């Protein structure tokens, strides 16, 4: 289902999702066979401990002592280091910037569609969020143009309220169109280029170097305020 349909009827989406369960087998039972195949290489742990690790994201590796119960959201272990700050997370993500230096390619452990473009979405749960501003659009415009305007408003807020300049920062967006246009700094669309020029002027005037990361529309923490 599309993100808009999911937002319109979350219960219908959940019903459809559950209907695909069909015939399945117990992942907890499968632990026994995988542990048996590797028992000579693995430290001695109980079955209960292995079962408590079944919630780890696919492909994620962590110390055997960490646990993570099975759950809906992707998880990366139950132990959180309180010494890791938002700045540390930003520096880690910036090591994943693509070759153009404009957007981040995140590897989250999700199983990817082989035909899909190799870009995964960041998890908004990596940050703590709060609403700082929202506004109503004065005119009706195309959604892609409004998405870019919202990013421009965010840049303006950073300058006016955080007094930021000559800095590099991460910005999350659920719009692939906006991410691609701002990352390249150009577009064949005249409609989008008029906003892109304003964004570029702000970047040039205040020395802003935004690095964009995609976030799923259904998980976007700003989505609620945008519908007020």
Can you give the pLDDT at residue 82?
Answer: 58
Domain boundary assignment for the chain: 1-80, 86-226
Beta-carbon contacts of residue 104 (< 8 Å; ≥ 6 apart): 93, 94, 96, 97, 98, 122, 170, 211, 212, 213
- For the chain, the average pLDDT equals 80
Asked if residue 206 has pLDDT above 90, the reply is: yes
Provide mean pLDDT across the span 163-187.
Answer: 88
Task: Extract the tokens encoding 109.
Answer: 């452990």
pTM summary value? 0.64
Strand partners, 116: none
The Cα–Cα gap between 150 and 212 comes to 14
Q: Between residues 18 and 147, which one has the greater pLDDT?
A: 147
Q: Which of 21-30, 76-85, 105-114, 159-168 has the lowest mean pLDDT?
A: 105-114
Is residue 106 within 8 Å of residue 122, measured between CB atoms?
Answer: yes
Is residue 152 within 8 Å of residue 134, measured between CB atoms?
Answer: no
Asked if residue 110 has pLDDT above 90, the reply is: no
Q: What is the pLDDT of residues 43-85, one digit of tens each?
A: 788 878 878 888 887 777 778 888 888 777 767 665 555 567 7
Collapsing DSSP to helix, strand or coil, 106 comes out as strand
Task: Extract the tokens encoding 21.
Answer: 């369960």
The Cα–Cα gap between 57 and 70 comes to 10
Can you give the pLDDT at residue 119?
Answer: 59
Q: Kindly tell me the burial class for residue 175, based on how many C-beta atoms sit within 10 Å of its own C-beta (0-12, 13-18, 19 or more).
A: buried
The Cα–Cα gap between 108 and 111 comes to 9
Distances (CA, A) of 46 to 16, 55, 162: 36, 16, 51
């Amino acid at each position: 289902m599309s993100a808009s349909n999911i937002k319109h009827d979350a219960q219908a989406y959940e019903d459809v999702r559950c209907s695909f369960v069909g015939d399945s087998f117990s992942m907890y039972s499968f632990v026994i066979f995988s542990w048996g195949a590797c028992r000579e290489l693995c430290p001695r742990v109980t079955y209960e401990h292995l079962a408590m690790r079944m919630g780890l994201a696919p492909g994620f590796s962590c110390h055997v002592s960490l646990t993570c119960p099975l759950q809906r959201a992707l998880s990366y272990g139950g132990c959180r280091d309180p010494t890791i700050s938002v700045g540390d997370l930003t520096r880690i993500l910036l090591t994943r910037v693509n070759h153009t230096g404009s957007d981040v390619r995140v590897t989250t452990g999700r199983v990817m569609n082989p035909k899909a473009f190799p870009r995964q979405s960041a998890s908004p749960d990596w940050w703590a969020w709060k609403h700082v501003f929202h506004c109503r659009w004065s005119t009706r415009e195309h959604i892609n143009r409004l998405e870019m305007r919202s990013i421009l408003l965010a840049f303006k807020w950073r300058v006016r309220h955080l007094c930021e300049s000559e800095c590099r920062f991460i910005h999350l967006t659920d719009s692939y169109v906006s991410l691609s246009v701002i990352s390249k700094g150009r577009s064949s669309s005249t409609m989008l280029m008029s906003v892109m020029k304003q964004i570029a002027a702000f970047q040039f005037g205040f020395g802003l170097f935004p690095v964009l990361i995609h976030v799923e529309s259904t998980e976007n923490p700003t989505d609620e305020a945008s519908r007020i």
